[in-house]
Amino acid sequence: MNRWLWLWNLAYLGRAPWDIGGPRPELVRLVEGGELKRCRAIDLGCGIGENVIYLARQGFDASGVDISSRAIAKARHKAQAAGVSPTFVVDDVTNLTGVEGPFDLVVDNGCIHSLAERSREGYVRTVLRLARSDSRYLLRCFLRDPEQPLGLFQPIQLWVAAFFDLFGLRGMMEPGEVERRFSEQFEIECLEPMRPGLSIDAVYLMRRKEERIVKG
């Protein structure tokens, strides 16, 4: 069992700092702009399920996974109130056993950047197992800006990252880490860096490359 489970459940006693009260705007823009069409989709680290519920309301076959049973309970309640029936699973995205792929769309709204370094390889293996050739992967994460030290008046996401660091977690990706971990298996179609201050809040949209079958 993940030793930081208590921390995630604690965060969902009230409103978690990363809860914006609805789906991520970049996801909404891509769906309503026609870039992402109805398909089988999964949100890794779905929290209270805002992205999953939005996708379900748009006609997607949507699922969400989170390690926090408290978050998933809230997600199921919100889905019922919204009149949709997506699938929600309590499981660890770094060692996912309760979900079978493939999925056409994988979504991550700040999950991988919260993981400890040793856990990120397991997360990547999960993404690769769930995604097939031509699957899309929408990733939003915080990137550490090497030119900016952590300062007193920097934006809230840097303080969130510093909080995670106290517990041996991360809270940020290193510069170039996303490309290092994913570029071999995914084509990175766009990178949308936003700077609400001195941090980097980046959005990647990727497409899984065609799997090559090596004949022996």
- Quick one: pLDDT band at residue 171, thresholds 50, 70, 90? low
CATH assignment of the domain containing 142: 3.40.50.150
In a domain, 13, yes or no: no
Distance CA 189, CA 183 (A): 11
Question: Per residue in 27-69, pLDDT tens?
Answer: 999 999 999 999 999 999 999 999 999 999 999 999 999 999 9
How many beta carbons lie within 10 A of that of residue 5, not counting itself? Answer: 13
Write phi, then psi, for 135 (nearest 5 degrees).
Answer: -65, 150
pTM to 2 decimals? Answer: 0.85
Q: Say if residues 146 and 177 touch (Cβ distance below 8 Å).
A: no
Q: Would you state the structure tokens that stand for residue 128, as one six-digit string?
A: 């690769």
In a domain, 4, yes or no: no
Question: Beta 40-44 vs 61-66: how paired, if at all?
Answer: parallel
In a domain, 202, yes or no: yes
In a domain, 8, yes or no: no
In a domain, 142, yes or no: yes
Residue range of the domain that includes 60: 38-64+101-207
- The tally of domains found in the chain comes to 1
